[in-house]
Structures are given as structure tokens and as C-alpha cells.
Amino acid sequence: MNNPLYDTMFAPHAGKDTVFLHLPEGGVITHDAFVRRAAQLAHAVRGMGVKAGDRVAVQVEKCPDMLALYAACAQMGAIFLPLNTAYTGAELSYFVGDSGAALLVGDPAREDELRTVADASGAVFATLSSAGGSLSDAADGQDETFETVARDEDDLAAFLYTSGTTGRSKGAMLTQKNLISNAATLTELWRFTSDDVLLHALPIFHTHGLFVATNVMLIAGGAMVFMPKLDVDQLIDWMPRATAMMGVPTFYTRLLDDARFDRDLTANMRLFISGSAPLLADTHVAFEARTGHRILERYGMTETNMNTSNPYAGERRAGTVGLPLPDVELRVADADGVELPRGETGVVEVRGDNVFAGYWNMPEKTAEEMREDGFFITGDLGVQDEAGYVTIVGRGKDLIISGGYNIYPKELELVLDAQDGVMESAVVGIPHADLGEVPLAVLVPQAGAQVDLDAVKAAVGMALARFKQPREYRIVEELPRNTMGKVQKVALRAEYGG
């Protein structure tokens, strides 16, 4: 193999006239057409000066060409760096600058703003969307074959930025091997084949929609119903023609809220998979009562892809994330990395080909989270039972997961603390029926000052993506602290969490 990622995921599809993407708005894209389009895009991207090893930052609405751009980057050895479409210009500037991206591909609707971002860090700018753009124009008419650039399995394939407890996002570097090994394991474990039709309503800028859902279907050779976003009507419309679905817990609670969703509608489905956030045992139970299907829950992270999964054939235990994957070593450890006896709660650590190569340009951060023996410290608190099932019982890291998106309180607190009249702030997650958790901000005014909440909200709106913004604000005289002076977020959650 001269380029393991391309040769595993994409090359086998050349010449196949089977359906790869069903487009809900009408039409299909075959496997062969997809591979040919990727080659055209690879020519276009190379024409913009991108070479193997360069980063290609992409903030584009979900569309077939965006997926083909992932394949194009694999074929030309460039590093694919997808970004949440909700990110503001301020957030994007950091990602493009930090990664040193050679090319920023953005939505034509935000061309002026994004071109400024690209210019500021010396990146070339191009546009792409389902309705076209300068990159699609440059690709149209190009040769439909492209000579695959040789790569090694340890070469980098993608960067995914993940926030952190310091408030500064880190570029997780994923190698070809990370992606291939995990997708191959999941394909086999979950028994995906070319007969499968996956309902794909997740975004493709995160691990779940791209490296789990899409990579698994590429290896299996099956089809995806490629929906722009979660739309319950569309899911219900396509369900009788599909065999599987992957989603965050909000997908499942929203389906259960719809009376049309029942046993008959799901009769053709063989598998429902949930991840990215805790699935309530209640949801699991209600889902089985309504449909007869037991949701299969799994657990992973940007840095590691997937680590555990409930079994396909064995018992799927509600409230657990299942067993370590066959090629992932997992231990529940104490603060020194020493494995604890089964049944005791500790930090989940994992080792295997799935574990990333480190954070871009942050060797000290990488070292902090990596043990000398190669185990990665996830920061999740877990417990493993005698049979090996893992339950995530909490997070050692200060993290809010809202509708499957991660929000690090520190990032919000830094913005809030900088506002006029604010002395300090604390952000905590409070329960939310639809999204699991949402952020609530507690502000302490400076002595004698007034906090202008409208001005604070406006500033937060400029700085941070909408999904990160606090849903509620409280103004208090002081924050609860322990004897060490540390803010007691547990107390804040108890007070405001309803």
C-alpha cells in the first residue's frame, strides 16, 4: 500500500456503481462518482498551492463536496481540518493561525469575513457549498483521476481542535493508522456490510459523524442517507429504507417525542448507536419499550476515536458504555496511573492504535495527558465491573456536553471576566431536557459597578459560537469557595441546576 488511508477507504470504490450517498433533496451519488469527484477536488486543491503535509481548514455546511474534500486530502496527503460551522470569525482566526493552514475553505455566504481570517494568517481562501463556490468551480472539468501521493500509516491525516480546561483549544493530530484501525474494528464489531444503509444526520466536522459514521461506511462499502442536519421528519421518512442510525442522545429523545416513531417504522432497522454524551438509562428503556430495539451505546473522544462499545450480540447494558474495543487496552486508574481493582472509581486511561499522535505544537500538553507507558489519560471518571463493562460516572475535567458538543467553562469564563463591570465569573452545566446540559453563567460585579447583561451577551456573541453561549445568567455578590479558595462548582450546580 502506498497510502493506507486512501487505499483502505476510497480506492476500493473506484468503478463501483453502487449508491454511496442518498441525497434527501433528491438523487444519489455512487461510490465511483464520489471517488472521481475527490480526484477533481485534489487537482483543484493542489492548484491552490497545497502540498502533502499541509493543513486544509474547512468550515463548510455539510454537503457531498465537503466529504469529497476529505477524500481529496487523503489522496494528496494533505491534513484535513474540519471546523464547526457555528464558529465565529474570532474562533476561526485562532484555528487557522495556530494550525498554519495553507488553505481555508469556507462558506460563500461568509466570504468577506473568512477571507479576512485567511489573509491574516497567510492562508489561501476558497469557497465551497452545496450550491457551488470557487473550489467547486476549480474542480469542475479537472481530470477524474489523480495520482495518489504516497503516505505512511504514521503520517498525519487530520487535525481536530478540541477545547481544554485552560480555555485554549488544542489541535489533536490524528494519523492514518488511528483512523483506519478504529474504523476497521468498529465495522467488524457492529457488523456493517455493503447491504447497510446508514441514516447520517450528524455534522461531519467532528469524530462522530466523520471518523465513526463515515469511515465505517466507507470500509463496509454501504450507503448513507446524507442529511444536512437532524430533521425528525426526514429521519422518519427514510427509516423504513434504512438499516442503521448513529446519533447523540438528543437524536433519540427527539425521536421518542414523535408518536409516529414506533415498532413498525423501525422494522427494517438492525442497529441504533448512541454516543458523544451520556445516554440516560430511562431513554434506553423507553426506546426499547417503543421499538423493541436496544440502543447500543459506545464511548470515545476526539483524541482516541472510540474506546469502548456495548456488544452487538451480547448484552447491551443500559447506563454503561460497554466493553473495551478488542484492540484498545483500558484501565481505570488512580492519580498516578496505577490500575484500581474492578468496582473502584478512577480515571479512564486507554492505549492502542486509536490513540492520537499528540497536540499540535503543544508537546507539554501532550506530555501532561500521556503516561510513559503509552496510556492516554482521558479525564473521564469511570468504573469497570467484573464482566468488564465500563460506566462513565463523571468527568475529572471541567466540561459541559450540550447536544453532543463540548463546552469548556474556562473558555467562557475568560470572555466573561474581560467584560466591563465583571470582577469574576463561573460557568456550570445545568440539566436540559433536550440537550442534556446547557451552560449557566454566574457573574460577580466589581465593587460599586453594575453589570450590563445586554452588553455582556453581545460581547459573548461576537467571541463564541452560539452553542457555547450561556443560556442563563445569574449575578451574585460572591462565588462559593472551599478553604483553598477554589470555586465550588458543585455548590453552584446544586443551587442553580433545578
- Least distance in angstroms from the C-beta of 451 to ligand AMP: 31
Of 99 and 309, nearer to ligand MCA (C-beta) is 309
| Cell numbers linked to 14 | 473506484
Q: With contact defined as beta carbons under 8 Å apart, do 202 and 246 qualify?
A: yes
User: First vs last Cα of the chain: how many Å apart?
Assistant: 56
- From residue 365 to residue 404, the character string flagging contacts with ligand AMP as x (rule: CB under 6 A) and all else as - is -------------x-x-----------x--x-----x---
Q: By CB under 6 A, which span of 73-81, 89-97, 107-115, 206-214 interacts with ligand MCA?
A: 206-214
- In whole angstroms, give the CA distance from residue 66 to residue 60: 7
Q: By CB under 6 A, which span of 116-124, 198-206, 216-224, 326-334 interacts with ligand MCA?
A: 198-206
| Cell numbers linked to 338 | 496505577
> Does 352 help bind ligand AMP (rule: CB under 6 A)?
no
- In whole angstroms, give the CA distance from residue 313 to residue 316: 8
Q: By CB under 6 A, which span of 1-9, 238-246, 283-291, 299-307 interacts with ligand AMP?
A: 299-307
Which amino acid is located at 26 in the chain? G
- In whole angstroms, give the CA distance from residue 206 to residue 375: 23
Q: By CB under 6 A, which span of 92-100, 173-181, 376-384, 400-408 interacts with ligand MCA?
A: 400-408
- From residue 263 to residue 292, the character string flagging contacts with ligand MCA as x (rule: CB under 6 A) and all else as - is ------------xx----------------
Q: With contact defined as beta carbons under 8 Å apart, do 409 and 398 qualify?
A: yes
| Residues whose CB is less than 8 angstroms from the CB of residue 477 and which lie 6 or more positions away in sequence, other chains included | 444
> Does 360 help bind ligand AMP (rule: CB under 6 A)?
no
The residue to which cell 484498545 is assigned: 328
Q: With contact defined as beta carbons under 8 Å apart, do 205 and 233 qualify?
A: no
> Does 309 help bind ligand AMP (rule: CB under 6 A)?
no
Which of 9, 72, 102, 301 is the binder for ligand AMP (CB under 6 A)? 301
Residue 265 touches which of ligand MCA, ligand AMP, none (CB < 5 to 8 A by kind)? Answer: none
- Least distance in angstroms from the C-beta of 418 to ligand AMP: 25
Give the total of residues touching ligand AMP (CB under 6 A). Answer: 18
Write the CA distances from 33 to 28, 43, 226, integer angstroms.
10, 16, 15
Residue 467 touches which of ligand MCA, ligand AMP, none (CB < 5 to 8 A by kind)? Answer: ligand MCA
Residue 310 touches which of ligand AMP, ligand MCA, none (CB < 5 to 8 A by kind)? Answer: none
Which of 99, 266, 302, 320 is the binder for ligand AMP (CB under 6 A)? 302
> Does 496 help bind ligand MCA (rule: CB under 6 A)?
no
**Site residues (CB under 6 A) for ligand MCA, limited to 42-71:** none
- Least distance in angstroms from the C-beta of 399 to ligand AMP: 6
**Site residues (CB under 6 A) for ligand MCA, limited to 227-246:** 229-230
Residue 248 touches which of ligand AMP, ligand MCA, none (CB < 5 to 8 A by kind)? Answer: ligand MCA
Reported as type and span, the H/E element at residue 76 is helix 64-76
Which of 4, 82, 106, 209 is the binder for ligand MCA (CB under 6 A)? 209
**Site residues (CB under 6 A) for ligand AMP, limited to 178-237:** 207
3-state SS of 220-282 is HCCEEEECCCCCHHHHHHHHHHCCEEEECHHHHHHHHCCCCCCCCCCCCCCEEEECCCCCCHH
Which of 4, 82, 203, 275 is the binder for ligand AMP (CB under 6 A)? 275
| Cell numbers linked to 480 | 462559593
Q: With contact defined as beta carbons under 8 Å apart, do 404 and 248 qualify?
A: yes
| Cell numbers linked to 448 | 460599586
Spatial strand order of the sheet with 296-301 comes to: 28-30, 19-22, 223-226, 197-200, 244-247, 271-274, 296-301, 305-309, 323-324
Residue 266 main-chain phi, psi, to 5 deg? -100, 15
- Contacting residues toward ligand AMP, per CB under 6 A: 162, 207, 275-278, 297, 299-302, 321, 378, 380, 392, 395, 401, 406
- Contacting residues toward ligand MCA, per CB under 6 A: 202-203, 206-209, 229-230, 248, 250, 275-276, 300-302, 402-405, 435, 466-467
